[in-house]
Amino acid sequence: MKSRKINVSEEDRIVRDAYERLVKTYAGSNHRGKFEIIDKAFKIACQAHKGVKREDGMPYITHPLSVAQIVCEEIGLGSTSICAALLHDVVEDADYKVEDIEKVFGGKIASIVDGLTKIPDEFSTGSVQADTMRKLLLTMASDIRVILVKLADRLHNMRTLGICSPAKKYKISGETMFLYAPLAHRLGLNTIKSELEDLCFKYEHPKEFENIERKLEATSGNREAIYEHFASPLYPALDKLGIVYKMQERVKSLRSIWDKMQAKKVGFEDIYDIFAVRIIFKPLPDIDVKKQCWDIYSVVTDLYKFKPDRIRDFVSQPKANGYRALHLTVMGPDGHWIEVQIRSEQMDDIAEKGLAAHWKYKEYKEDINPADEPAELDRWLGTIHDILENPNPDSLDFLDTIKLNLYASEIFAFTPKGEIRTLPQGASTLDFAYDIHSSVGDRCIGAKVNHQLVPLSYKLNSGDQVEIITSRSQIPQPEWLNFVVSAKAKTKIDIFLKKLKKAKIAEGERIVDKFLRDGGMEPTQQILDKVTFIFEFRKKEDFYYAVAAKQIELPENPQKIFKEKSGNLFFGYLKKFIGVKASSKGKETNILTSSPTEKIKYDRKKTYVLDEEDFQKKYLLPECCSPIPGDKVLGYARSDGWLEIHKISCEKALRLKSQDGKNIISCLWAGHKAISLPCRIELKGIDRMGILIDISKIITYDMSVNVRRMMIDTNDGMFSGTIEVSIHDVDDINNMISRLLKVKGVSDAKRVEG
């Protein structure tokens, strides 16, 4: 996308046409016709953004107009949300205050606009992105519309992201994948969620996006033939039911196809469930909708054999985001497994538009009654309330906690009295206890699942009946965090443990104070900072905690530490108490306290070239994703001066993009042929005599590559294992994998991430 120059008259026409389209869309909705307030919001927004341009050269007012259009047309909200969308940037970018908005438009619109306004840098506690999200969710807890308008804002930003610099694309798309797409999913906005994911995929992996898009287009004729062959016998059979229906093919999103390719380590051609079939019907009057779903199910299974373990009844038990449908997978006439989704028109509307469709079918007009919202959503908002009640939350931990379970699959468990509880996949009995009440979780010592005694860590299955056993003497333990997966449980345990840690820190501070005074030293700020540094801690609080918890020992005389700081005693303390590699000659240093040879000020709008001679002088390759030359990567400018390189798809990079995006740097590899880097290959196949020799020959002799480690297991005629080698770049590893796959007996060879 390129910016273009447009004249004033053309600008006026573009803005006028966009506003007329918005008004026309609103007039065609079922909301009350509050045109005057929308017109007032539009005029104020025009004045506030007058003369300002977006990066693509368009008048800035086109952005809030586009957001309002999405809010009205694609989400289905009314005048309050439309006005908030039109005004959502006036406080942040113009001389308007929230109080000004409230005077003209009232408290509801002002509250939403306030929730959408970013926190200025000077008021941030560490991460502007995290603090702004916290503020947004704080508003959402009282008015869900704020997050719906924000999702519309993010969707338009993603649709127009092409003009931005690579670093900004990484920041915004990372933030979107980390939180906004999961939030759209959690609120049932499936159409928006899928588009957000596809746009992130497009900007972060453009070549892969274009490749899958091209292959989908090339295979569309074959899919259409398979669909028609499958659907043809169904039409007359469904007609006999006397219902009005439509049957359609639904192709997987590009992102979901790519995710499956990555998870299974296969090519596009090996993904067989590219599309599903939807049967959407208009319910007959006076007949239960659930019965009609099962009548259609019977028609499908009379014609095609179904897969028993792939039946999903979300009609009787909807998903937490309100999704309802009947799913089954059948063997089609061409030998392909095909998923069939059966929905009523209302179910389909809710599946695509989520919460807004709930309001539509409950005949919502302008005001929202929280009591009428879907029960599961109300419970989720309650969890948000619990998290926000944390008196001293860390912004980054807060974001991680919010994200938790947004995408998780769900299970359903029952209390002894038959009350159903929805929990994330992998939930333990401890999660169940906290879901009942935080006090029950805090005192939980075990449970009975289906009348059998089980521990706190026991993983529940759908349909389990759970009875929690408590004790008044029980308190949360640090290891409990390893047992739970739900946001509510993690938050409650974390709050309790932080209170305990605070007490330990105070105890450690008293010990260190006495230690220094007994040695004839005044515990000044400067002295405490030096002692903290000597023991390799970044924060005094962490140092105090380690002292109180007896994780480190203090020497008899503090004076010696300072006198011999550069000598062997100092490094001896590090080795003994901290366990890091250290040398008084400076040959080995702890990466957390060492600095690069040259600190660089990075231009966020430019791409930094990763020269081979700068490796371990200016930039580092962390083990979380083990990037090698040829991988698509980005950089993270750390506070200590190092540039940390991550793969674009790395989970840690996703967190950094969403929480500290201002320090994300676009990077590009230069040639790397002198330095060898570790890389692991996973092998599987049929065992035979001499196969290990053939594999070793290719690696060592044909490729002249050094083997760092090899672990191979055999069982029942099959072998599997990993080989760690030292290579230069992606071309080396791809060439090696290609050769290994030609070895007789090797059925699979792939690079292992991290």
For residue range 98-147, what is the model confidence (pLDDT) as tens digits? 999 999 999 999 999 988 887 665 555 566 777 777 777 777 777 888 88
pLDDT at residue 398, as a whole number: 65
Among candidate residues 4, 73, 81, 99, the one with its CA nearest the CA of residue 37: 81
Which of the residue ranges 13-17, 264-268, 343-347, 566-570 would you say has the lowest mean pLDDT?
A: 566-570
| pLDDT reported for residue 367 | 37
How far apart (Å, rounded) are the C-alpha atoms in residues 677 and 280? 54
Residue 640: active-site member: no
Dihedral angle at the C-alpha atoms of 187, 190, 195, 198, nearest 10 degrees? 100
**According to the model, what pLDDT value does residue 594 have?**
55
**Cα separation of 488 and 583, whole Å?**
45
Query: Looking at residues 688-714, what average pLDDT do you find?
Result: 88
Residue 127 tokens read as 């991460």
Rounded Cα distance, 137 and 154, in Å: 15
Q: What is the mean pLDDT of residues 431-443?
A: 94
pLDDT band (50, 70, 90) for residue 735: very high
Distances (CA, A) of 603 to 121, 168, 606: 19, 12, 6
**Residue 2 in this model has a pLDDT that exceeds 60:** no
Catalytic residue among 11, 93, 259, 614: 93
Helix (H) or strand (E) holding 675: none
Of 368, 322, 345, 346, nearest to 31 by C-alpha is 368
Is residue 325 predicted with pLDDT exceeding 90? Answer: yes
Least confident of 94-98, 176-180, 404-408: 404-408
Residues of the chain with pLDDT > 90, as a percent, come to: 43
Here the tokens at position 445 are 């010592």
Here the tokens at position 159 are: 């649709």
d(CA 241, CA 303): 15
pLDDT tens column, 237-247: 999 999 999 99
Least confident of 139-153, 355-369, 408-422, 716-730: 355-369
pLDDT of residue 714: 87
With bands split at pLDDT 50, 70 and 90, how would you rate the model's confidence at 369? Answer: very low
Active site residue 93: yes
**First-to-final CA distance of the chain:** 34
Q: State residue 262's pLDDT score.
A: 84
pLDDT tens per residue across span 569-608: 434 443 333 333 333 333 333 333 456 767 778 888 889 9
Which of 206, 185, 207 shows the shortest CA–CA distance to 194? 185
Q: What is the CA radius of gyration of the chain?
A: 30
pLDDT of residue 396: 57
Residue 365 confidence (pLDDT) above 50: no
The pLDDT tens digits for 328-348 are: 999 999 888 899 999 999 999
User: Domains of the chain, with CATH numbers?
Assistant: 8-189 (1.10.3210.10), 209-353 (3.30.460.10), 376-495 (3.10.20.30), 496-578 (no CATH), 607-669 (no CATH), 677-752 (3.30.70.260)
- Going by C-alpha positions, the residue among 124, 109, 49, 57 that lies closest to residue 79 is 109
Per-residue HEC secondary structure of 434-479 comes to HHHCHHHHHCEEEEEECCEEECCCCECCCCCEEEEEECCCCCCCHH
The predicted pLDDT at position 583 comes to 34
Instruction: Return the pLDDT at 573.
Output: 41
The tally of CA atoms less than 13 A away on the side-chain side of residue 394 is 9
Q: Strand 326-331 vs strand 746-752: parallel, antiparallel, or unpaired?
A: unpaired
Residue 408 has pLDDT above 70, yes or no: no
Across 7-19, average pLDDT:
85
Per the residue annotation, which of 12, 92, 270, 334 is the catalytic one?
A: 92
Annotate 176-239 with three-state secondary structure.
HHHHHHHHHHHCCCHHHHHHHHHHHHHHHCHHHHHHHHHHHHHCHHHHHHHHHHHHCCHHHHHH
Lowest-pLDDT choice from 288-292, 432-436, 712-716, 736-740: 712-716
The pLDDT value given to residue 258: 92
For residue 732, give the nearest of 619, 631, 612, 633 by alpha carbon.
631
Q: How confident is the model at residue 358 (pLDDT cuts 50, 70, 90)?
A: low
Whether the predicted pLDDT of 189 surpasses 50: yes
The four Cα atoms 14, 15, 17, 22 give a dihedral, to 10 degrees, of: 140
Sign of CA dihedral 147, 148, 152, 153: negative
Sequence-distant (6+) residues with CB within 8 A of 388 are 134, 137, 138, 141
- Cα-Cα-Cα-Cα dihedral sign, residues 196, 657, 140, 186: positive
Residues 6+ apart with CB under 8 A from 194: 253, 255, 256
What average pLDDT is seen over the chain?
84
Note the pTM of the prediction, 2 decimals.
0.78
Q: Which residue has the higher pLDDT, 158 or 267?
A: 158
